[in-house]
Chains A and B, each alone.
Chain A
Amino acid sequence: KAGVTQTPRYLIKTRGQQVTLSCSPISGHRSVSWYQQTPGQGLQFLFEYFSETQRNKGNFPGRFSGRQFSNSRSEMNVSTLELGDSALYLCASSLDRGVRNEQFFGPGTRLTVL
């Protein structure tokens, strides 16, 4: 089975621009979660999608948004980029929303904001 894939792997943007990141979960997985990883804050939860609906959201400003498609693929969007948005953005998929399900991570998208 193919793992979680994320595109693009690297991205460089300037302040004020917006960016869209994509995540394809493991085949059959219906839950997709997004995390931001920075050296100072570690891994922080952004949001989770299941059946095309946002089910859970972390403490991030409204500039961060996402969506999920009927094939479970997910995108996240960051508008009006700030320097502090530079981070590794990780997507994780799991079979469903059961708390005993493992989450499997993709390779991440490294976003640099100049």
Chain B
Amino acid sequence: EDKVVQSPLSLVVHEGDTVTLNCSYEVTNFRSLLWYKQEKKAPTFLFMLTSSGIEKKSGRLSSILDKKELSSILNITATQTGDSAIYLCAVRSPQAGTALIFGKGTTLSVSS
């Protein structure tokens, strides 16, 4: 059965810290991995990764996929209180069609 595991489940940091969130997956015929940020509403799209080793960046956020290790990391540098949210990792495989298989998420709390 396809599976996505995120770690840690929750994290508390101080403003200015750098954090690394982890996502590992077991899927048949992996196609893509997506990261979302969820506050008290809809998950908002951050990145989609399809090729190993290529870093995607957007401001203070970046992500890399390691297809050999079946994992991805999401880095947030110089954290701000506005980064407090649940970060969701999801993967897609042909067996699931366009369905996204989500991990349970990492709850990040940034204190001032």
Contact = CB atoms under 8 A, between A and B. Distances in A.
The A interface is mostly helix, strand or loop, or mixed, namely strand
Interface residues of B, number: 25
Nearest to B43: A105
In order of increasing CB-CB distance, the 10 nearest A-B pairs are A56-B97, A43-B102, A105-B42, A99-B31, A45-B99, A42-B104, A107-B42, A105-B43, A97-B98, A107-B41
Interface string A76-104: 00000000000000101010011111111
Nearest to A96: B98
B34 A102 contact: yes
A21 interface: no
Interface of B: 31-32, 34, 36, 41-45, 48, 50, 88, 90, 92, 94, 96-105
Interface of A: 4, 31, 33, 35, 42-45, 48, 50, 55-56, 58, 90, 92, 94, 97-108
Contacts, number: 68
A94 B45 CA distance: 12
A90 B97 contact: no
Given A42-B103, A43-B88, A102-B34, A48 B45 contact: no
Contact of A100 (B32, B43, B88): B32
Nearest to A99: B31
A90 B43 CA distance: 9
